[in-house]
Amino acid sequence: MPSQKFVVNVEAAVLNEGRYIMVIRSEKEEHAGGTLGFPGGRVEGHGASRNVLEATARREVLEETGISIGDMHYVESHLFNSDAGEDVVDVVFLCRYTGGKARPENVREVESVMWMSPREIFDYAKTPTWTRRSMERAESTREKLGW
């Protein structure tokens, strides 16, 4: 039986005063270009060997938005097939903002960065279905935690 390989991706729903940091992905991005999403990216094969998902979330948030995150709580995971034909395991965390000025750090990946309320995220025309579902689950997690 052939082994199946997966790409592991991590997304961070970063919360600050009732708003989430969101990115508009560059139109040049291979997957979901031009859409609204949480900052995040692939687990890389170097760096931290413990808490690799959390380390990936921290790295990607800083690389894409210029902000730092603190407390993290698991929200959900799901599987999808990317536009490049890869099987991707996507893990979403709810995170607390700890500092930094939000701005696009890598314009090849991120066109813009903004703080948005859950209602604004749901209503935004270029919010993909999967981001809406993850937002609902992040809000549910936030409520359970009393954030």
Query: Can you give the residue ranges of every domain in the chain?
Result: 7-145
Q: pTM for the complete prediction?
A: 0.90
pLDDT in tens, 58-94: 999 999 999 999 999 999 999 988 777 789 999 999 9
Residues 6+ apart with CB under 8 A from 54: 72, 93
- Cα separation, 134 vs 144, in Å, equals 15
Beta strands in 7-140, from DSSP E residues, in sequence order: 7-16, 19-25, 36-37, 40-42, 68-81, 87-99, 110-116
Q: Which CATH superfamily is domain 7-145 in?
A: Nucleoside Triphosphate Pyrophosphohydrolase (3.90.79.10)
pLDDT, tens digit only, all 147 positions of the chain:
566 788 999 999 999 999 999 999 876 666 666 789 999 999 987 665 789 999 999 999 999 999 999 999 999 999 988 777 789 999 999 999 999 999 988 778 888 999 999 999 999 999 999 999 999 999 999 999 999
* Per-residue confidence (pLDDT) for residue 35, from 0 to 100: 87
3-class SS at 53? helix
- Cα separation, 13 vs 37, in Å, equals 9
